[in-house]
Homo-oligomer: A and B are copies of this chain.
Amino acid sequence: MANYPHINRILVALDCIVFGFDGEDIKLLLIKRNFDPEKGKWSLMGGFLESDEDLEDATNRILYDLTGLKGIYFEEIQTFGKVNRDPVERTLSVCFFALINIHAHDQDSAKAQNAFWINLKNRPELIFDHNEMVDIALERLRYKAALHPIGFELLPEKFTIPQLQKLYEAIYDSLLDRRNFSRKILSTKLLLDTGEKNENSTTKKAILYKLDKDKYQKQFNAFHYFISDSVR
């Protein structure tokens, strides 16, 4: 079999922005590096693409190693390819973001990677071009979540509308009208009343909903206006 001669092969990495939500704030799962290069500094979770591995499989592998979860929602953002972005050796980075339920992931997996949940607002300086990656990822999350029902990926299976609102308020760092938000969300018909209520509340217990998975699949690419123009 013929080869492509005279072309340099390049190292290919993947880097992942993992978003979580603790009920109040958006968080990032970041690595305190106990390995070189840039040992001791903060970075995104990443890894190299193996020679016998599809790009998508590599993404799933990296996310599994970090969280112990399979079937995580993720989206490719962009491939970063400046010649000098990694000082050790030229490395292309295929960058993506993932959304997980912060309470569902495996703590031991995270510990093994030396990963910590950091409030997005207090994020430390990251190595290489990882700061830019986070900026772009957040932009993408905001863009996508305004139009498509991806917010649910950050919540537990059963959740209340006020919790969902808190999530959107955290994503867009702004306040939303309770009554309009509720109506807007319910009008999508994506939520099913579980019949249960949030027993943790000390005041009126909110209704617990879950996603209508069928409708979610079918309507995913339809536009919903989850966020008002003024916020967008």
Contact = CB atoms under 8 A, between A and B. Distances in A.
Interface stretch (A53-61, A63-71, A153-161, A190-198): A53-61
A183 interface: no
A48 B4 contact: yes
Contacts of A79: 55, 76, 79, 94
Contacts of A76: 78-79
Given A76-B78, A81-B56, A51 B90 contact: yes
A9 interface: yes
| Interface size classification for chain A | 35 or more
- Most chain B beta-carbon contacts within 10 A, residue among A1, A50, A55: A55
B223 A48 contact: no
A79 B14 CA distance: 11
Given A1-B88, A3-B88, A223-B232, A51 B81 contact: no
A4 B89 contact: yes
Given A1-B89, A12-B81, A55-B79, 18 more contacts: A4-B48, A4-B89, A8-B9, A8-B50, A9-B11, A9-B12, A10-B49, A10-B51, A12-B12, A49-B81, A54-B83, A55-B80, A55-B82, A56-B81, A58-B81, A76-B78, A79-B79, A222-B232
